């Protein structure tokens, strides 16, 4: 017998990265289960709540981080699966099947990443608390609990909501907070967007990232991760898995299974480490400055002589200090920095290899091929393909 053709309403704002990835996961389940469902979605990818009360479909998957959506659907008789953030208290969950990103686990991944770097001061940059930002409050509380339980002092700043009217005020407040923090410090930003604010302010204040302030965001938003000069580290949520699980639960409900209060917590998929959190506990201030200069200028083709000129020590003196702290020469560090950047661009973009070679300061694409074969045992093209196949398998 063929299964009934169901009508499904997706109540999301797909202009947000998080929502788009959840929807992608829903689509993956529909393909895997061969569901012949009609999916209703607004043309501009934003849910319209005014007509939601009167919708006459068979099932709904909705973003319950939006309290207005929750208010409309909490008493619905249509089979509904809610998607949103996790809560510390069980009574805060809606009385519906619920698939949640594990906020405490997201924060733990970010905090432990910074802690493993040897940092002992930790900050959290959130957003002002209100009913639309319950997920942020949960992450902030988890951060305070985790840092405090390890015997450290949590430094927390919520700042202002982003708007053109108060942008200068918001920037000044963030500058004051960053300036007053003990250094070095690792900061967990509640989203990648807030992390980018931190990177901008550090640039304006000439605060070295990650040498003095190491930053990690949450979302791993591919679209904007390179908008700042310093590439952003981030925790990747399991958003597609959330969508997949939500669709699977709804499918079972449509087939008659009782799943009224089922709860699924989805773990983060991991930390994507980039330059913003690549902190290394260094004692020599001259080596710290040299590393900062190398990180920001290696791909511009600078040589050791230019690093020496910038620091203002003799080459012999700086080389000895650098070798003692880093365990490699400045020339080797320049090479590793360029090559690391090239590998990142090979994996995460579709840029032509000759453009990547130019961007990373190599004299020619042929030279980059030689370096790739020497260090990886394969060409850049082979590395791009194999890396993406490994990610798909994972």
Per-domain residue ranges of the chain: 7-101+239-269, 103-236+272-277, 285-387
Query: pLDDT value at position 224?
Result: 61
269-272 contacts at long range (C-beta below 8 A, 24 or more positions apart): 269/236, 269/237, 269/238, 269/241, 270/109, 270/235, 270/236, 271/109, 271/110, 271/113, 271/216, 271/233, 271/234, 271/235, 271/236, 272/220, 272/233, 272/234, 272/235, 272/236
Whether 359 shows a pLDDT value over 80: the answer reads yes
Query: pLDDT value at position 157?
Result: 97
Tell me what the mean pLDDT of segment 310-330 comes to.
94
Tell me what the mean pLDDT of segment 349-378 comes to.
94
Query: pLDDT value at position 146?
Result: 98
Interior CA angle at 147 toward 146 and 149, to 5°? 65
Among 56, 46, 72, CA closest to 7:
56
CATH architecture, range 285-387: Orthogonal Bundle (1.10)
Whether 3 shows a pLDDT value over 70: the answer reads no
Query: pLDDT value at position 54?
Result: 77
103-236+272-277 and 285-387: identical CATH topology: no
Residue 346 — pLDDT band, cuts 50, 70, 90? very high
DSSP secondary structure code for residue 82 in this structure: E
Whether 370 shows a pLDDT value over 80: the answer reads yes
Whether 259 shows a pLDDT value over 50: the answer reads yes
Give tens-digit pLDDT for 78-109: 999 999 999 999 999 998 999 999 999 999 99
Query: pLDDT value at position 231?
Result: 86
Where does 103-236+272-277 sit in CATH, by number?
A: 3.40.50.2300
Query: pLDDT value at position 44?
Result: 58
Quote the mean pLDDT of the chain.
91
Question: How far, in Å, CA of 190 to CA of 178, rounded?
Answer: 16
Give the residue, 191 or 221, on which the prediction is more confident.
191
Question: How far, in Å, CA of 391 to CA of 374, rounded?
Answer: 23
Among 213, 209, 211, CA closest to 230:
209
Whether 393 shows a pLDDT value over 70: the answer reads no
Whether 25 shows a pLDDT value over 90: the answer reads yes
Tell me what the mean pLDDT of segment 45-51 comes to.
66
Query: pLDDT value at position 180?
Result: 97
Burial class (CB in 10 A: 0-12, 13-18, 19+), 209: buried
Tell me what the mean pLDDT of segment 311-330 comes to.
94
Q: Which region among 29-43, 78-92, 133-147 has the lowest average model confidence (pLDDT)?
A: 29-43
Tell me what the mean pLDDT of segment 367-389 comes to.
93
Query: pLDDT value at position 156?
Result: 98
Among 92, 37, 44, CA closest to 60:
37
Query: What is the percentage of the chain residues whose pLDDT exceeds 90?
Result: 70
Among 204, 273, 282, 277, CA closest to 235:
273
On whether the CB atoms of residues 344 and 360 are closer than 8 A, the answer is: no
Whether 394 shows a pLDDT value over 70: the answer reads no
Among 153, 100, 132, 387, CA closest to 264:
100
Question: Residue 56: helix, strand or coil by DSSP?
Answer: coil
Query: pLDDT value at position 308?
Result: 96
Give the residue, 298 or 223, on which the prediction is more confident.
298
Residue 136 — pLDDT band, cuts 50, 70, 90? very high
Residue 1 — pLDDT band, cuts 50, 70, 90? very low
Top-level CATH class of 7-101+239-269?
alpha beta
Question: How far, in Å, CA of 268 to CA of 85, rounded?
Answer: 12
> What separation in angstroms does the CA of 224 have from each of 171, 187, 193, 228, 339?
19, 19, 8, 8, 22
Question: Residue 271: helix, strand or coil by DSSP?
Answer: strand
Query: pLDDT value at position 93?
Result: 93
Question: How far, in Å, CA of 79 to CA of 62, rounded?
Answer: 11
């Amino acid at each position: 017998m063929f299964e009934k053709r169901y009508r499904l309403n997706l109540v999301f704002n797909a202009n947000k990265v998080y929502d788009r990835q959840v929807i992608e996961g829903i689509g993956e389940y529909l393909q895997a289960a061969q569901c012949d469902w009609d999916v209703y979605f607004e043309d501009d990818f934003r849910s319209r709540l005014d007509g939601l009360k009167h919708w006459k479909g068979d099932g709904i998957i909705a973003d319950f981080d939006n309290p207005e959506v929750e208010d409309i659907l909490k008493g619905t008789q249509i089979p509904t699966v809610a998607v949103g953030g996790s809560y510390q208290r069980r009574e805060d969950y809606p009385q519906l099947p619920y698939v949640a990103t594990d906020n405490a686990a997201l924060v733990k991944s970010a905090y432990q990443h910074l802690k493993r770097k040897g940092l002992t001061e930790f900050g959290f940059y959130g957003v002002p608390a209100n009913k639309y930002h319950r997920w942020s409050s949960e992450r902030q509380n988890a951060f305070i609990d985790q840092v405090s339980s390890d015997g450290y002092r949590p430094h927390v700043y919520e700042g202002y909501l982003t708007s053109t009217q108060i942008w200068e005020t918001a920037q000044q407040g963030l500058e004051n907070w960053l300036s007053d923090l003990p250094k070095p410090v690792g900061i967990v930003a509640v989203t990648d967007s807030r992390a980018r604010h931190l990177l901008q302010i550090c640039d304006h204040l000439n605060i070295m990232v990650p040498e003095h302030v190491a930053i990690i965001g949450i979302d791993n938003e591919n679209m904007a991760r390179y908008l700042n000069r310093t590439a952003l580290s981030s925790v990747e949520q399991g958003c597609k898995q959330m969508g997949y699980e939500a669709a699977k639960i709804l499918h079972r409900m449509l087939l008659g299974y009782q799943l009224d209060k089922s709860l699924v917590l989805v773990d983060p998929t991991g930390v994507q480490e980039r330059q913003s959190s690549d902190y290394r506990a260094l004692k020599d201030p001259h080596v710290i400055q040299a590393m900062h200069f190398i990180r920001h200028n290696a791909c511009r083709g600078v040589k050791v002589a230019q690093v020496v000129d910038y620091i203002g020590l003799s080459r012999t003196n700086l080389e000895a200090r650098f070798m003692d702290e880093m365990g490699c020469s400045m020339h080797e560090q320049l090479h590793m920095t360029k090559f690391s950047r090239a590998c990142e661009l090979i994996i995460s973009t579709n840029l032509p290899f000759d453009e990547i070679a130019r961007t990373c300061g190599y004299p020619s694409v042929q030279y980059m091929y030689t370096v790739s074969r020497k260090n990886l045992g394969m060409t850049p093209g082979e590395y791009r393909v194999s890396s993406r196949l490994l990610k798909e398998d994972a």
